Amino acid sequence: MSFPLLTVTAALPAVGAIATAAVPAAKRTAAKWSALGFSAATLVLAAIVLVRFEPGGDRYQLTESRPWIKSFGVRFELGVDGIGVSLIALTALLIPFVILAGWHDADPPSSPPLGEEGPDQVESNSRWRPTQGFFALILMVEAMVLVSFEATDVFLFYIFFEAMLIPMYFLIGGFGDRAHAAQYSDSVAGGEDEAAKQRSYAAVKFLLYNLVGGLVMLAAVIGLYAATAHQLGHGTFSLQEILQARADGKFELGTSTERWIFLGFFFAFAVKAPLWPLHTWLPNAMGESTAPVAVLITAVVDKVGTFAMLRYCLQLFPEASKWATPVILVLAVIGIIYGALLAVGQRDIKRLIAYASISHFGFIILGIFAMTTQGQSGAALYMVNHGISTAALMLVAGFLISRRGSRLIADFGGVQKVAPVLAGTFLIGGLATLSLPGLAPFVSEFLVLVGTFSRYPALGIIATAGIVLAALYVLVLYQRTMTGPVKAGIEGMADLKVREIAVVAPLIALLLFLGVYPKPLTDIVNPAVGQTLSDVHKTDPKPALEATK
């Protein structure tokens, strides 16, 4: 029996979460190093997975299959294709930076100098355990996301797709943005209570939206199982078994059945992604979270939704996917323009980035359902590149906000004069967000637009307006926060420290490298894209004009 590499890769952060949570209350620094160590070890394993993956090999590699719930045909089946292995690498890469960026985000309130605290304060501080909980929850989210990218059993995927909501709920509701809480305290009577209410509202909204999507998906999962039991003589959730049975002519869903089951799956994924008009939980969740948790939401967790559209919607329900494509494309284009327009009008830095992400997810979904090689390759690249660029921008924004104690754009100005490194990294993250040529997101956005235009020229032209709006909201944000006279409260702002530079510099290096040389990534995802298009019986449209000889 071969070494269960995928299982160990996903299990390691879960073990790390337990170990970190078990660190004694007074050993907060030890808990941080424990979390960082386990995340770094997971990154090493993810790198081994990436190296062992053969782009020209079988569709699903490093596969594992063990009985789990035999009576219901549920198996613990894992396997990775080119898109899955890329997202595993992205997740494992970002988590150490998330932990480093949030190094002090869950520390207890400042204590009196050593030797001056009273007995009650010593006892209170020794029992205060938010640091252990914060980093343990981050590792638990990582473990669940990795299983979601690895699972090839539909029921196994569903379990972890839903289970990740629990640690995310506590990260959003229990560890809020202190700068926002400080703003409430300064401007509103009972401000701390009001900030807590806002965090609670954001966490509950996140949970309810995603739970509703999950319940709809559960009905669809049961429907798929019933269909396999009727046609194959035994119920199964195995993605590979279902695809093979369909290829052999032993399994075929009726038109109406396939469409209803498809809608159940797609609805859940559209909420998670999120796709307009199911997006409204995202600005609240990102706005009330700490910057590292906001990165976890939009750069890691939300990618499960778009990934699942490629793996499950298109592969299991090809005819229904083609049937729903016109509506989905329209929703995606609306999301692109709507998210960008609302980003332009934002006064809050974190909510601006949240609405920009809604626009970017519109591009990803547009590429997926354009049903072209360029479009889907661009969408797969976009998932990775958006994760890196949004992490860079949001984490630098978090450093900026923590220094000023405010998220409002109007409270900043002239930062580049007192903190040039912070301003420079913020600019690079912003330019990546607007897909500047030479930075990684440009390649993916260009492929999405080319792939869309070749089949749906009108939608491709409209979507292009999102690029113009992105330039507007990013450059205006930079101009208002970083240039001009130095505003009150900015004069003594410190530049980035060594730990913060260690967080941002590798992300910027990746944005530059993949912007100039995306071939290593395209070589991995392109075979998976070709196989997915084959599943839905789609080929690239031929040019309208033939080249002259």
110 contact partners, CB below 8 Å, separation of at least 6: none
pLDDT reported for residue 180: 55
Q: Average pLDDT of 86-112?
A: 85
Q: Which two tokens stand for residue 122?
A: 């010593």
Question: Residue 80: helix, strand or coil by DSSP?
Answer: strand
pLDDT level of residue 1 (50, 70, 90 thresholds):
low
Q: How confident is the model at residue 177 (pLDDT cuts 50, 70, 90)?
A: low
Q: Which of 98-107, 279-288, 438-447, 530-539 has the lowest average pLDDT?
A: 530-539
Count the helix, strand and coil residues of the chain and give each as a percent rounded to the nearest 5: 75, 5, 20
Arithmetic mean of pLDDT, 229-240: 84
Distance CA 310, CA 82 (A): 12
What end-to-end distance do the CA atoms of the chain give, in Å?
57
- The dihedral over CA atoms of 251, 84, 80, 265, expressed in degrees to the nearest 10, equals -30
pLDDT for residue 52: 93
- The residues near 366 (Cβ < 8 Å, ≥ 6 apart) are 329, 332, 333, 336, 375, 379, 448, 452, 459, 463
- Is the pLDDT confidence value at 79 over 60? yes
pLDDT confidence tier of residue 113, bands split at 50, 70 and 90:
very low
Distance of CA 106 to the CA centre of its chain: 22
Least confident of 69-73, 126-130, 352-356: 126-130
Residue range 519-527: mean pLDDT, rounded: 91
Question: What whole-number distance in Å separates Cα of residue 501 and Cα of residue 33?
Answer: 18
| pLDDT for 358 | 93
- How far, in Å, are 86, 198, 495 from residue 422 at the CA level? 29, 29, 6
- Is residue 144 over pLDDT 60? yes
Give me the residues paired with residue 348 across strands.
408
Structure token digits, residue 271: 């909420």
pLDDT at 110: 56
Peptide bond into 55 cis (omega under 30): no
Q: Does 126 score more than 60 pLDDT?
A: no
**Mean pLDDT value across the chain:** 87
User: Does position 181 have pLDDT exceeding 60, yes or no?
Assistant: no
Q: What is the reported pLDDT for 139?
A: 96
Q: Residue 396: how many CA atoms within 13 Å on its side-chain side?
A: 30
Distance, in Å, from the CA atom of 506 to the CA atom of 458, rounded to the nearest integer, reads 38
Percent of the chain with pLDDT over 90: 54
Residue 192 pLDDT greater than 70, yes or no: no
Burial class of residue 153 in the structure, from the number of CB atoms within 10 Å of its CB (0-12 exposed, 13-18 middle, 19+ buried): buried
* Per-residue pLDDT reduced to its tens digit, 148-169: 999 999 999 999 999 999 999 9
Dihedrals φ, ψ of 183, to 5°? -60, -45
Residue from 16, 2, 15, 90 nearest 50 by CA: 90
Can you tell me the mean pLDDT for 374-395?
A: 93
Where is average pLDDT lowest: 268-272, 487-491, 520-524? 487-491
SS3 of 429-492? HHHHHCCCCCCHHHHHHHHHHHHHHHHCHHHHHHHHHHHHHHHHHHHHHHHHHHCCCCCCCCCC
User: At how many degrees (to 10) do helices 130-150 and 165-174 cross?
Assistant: 150
Whether pLDDT at 381 is above 60: yes
Provide the token pair at 292.
């590292």
Write the CB contacts of 166 (distance below 8 Å, at least 6 apart in sequence).
none
Greater model confidence, 67 or 95: 95
Please give the angle made by the CA atoms of 269, 534 and 382, to the nearest 5 degrees: 45
User: Does residue 16 register a pLDDT over 90?
Assistant: yes
- Identify the pLDDT of residue 128: 44
pLDDT exceeds 90 at position 71: no
Using the predicted structure, report yes or no on whether residue 544 has a pLDDT greater than 80: no
Reported as a pLDDT band with limits 50, 70 and 90, residue 343 is very high
Strand partners, 80: 61
Model confidence pLDDT, tens digit, residues 402-450: 888 888 888 888 888 888 999 999 999 999 988 899 999 999 999 999 9
Highest mean pLDDT among 72-76, 188-192, 218-222: 218-222
Residue range 106-117: average pLDDT? 51
* Global pTM value: 0.89
pLDDT band of residue 251 (cuts 50, 70, 90) is confident
* pLDDT of 114 strictly over 50: no
DSSP string, 113-129: PTT---HHHHHHHHH--
DSSP per position, 281-315: HHHHHHHHB-HHHHHIIIIIITHHHHHHIIIIIHH
Q: What is the mean pLDDT of residues 518-539?
A: 86
Measured in whole angstroms, the distance separating CA 331 from the mean position of its chain's CA atoms is 20
Indicate the pLDDT class of residue 120, thresholds 50, 70 and 90: very low
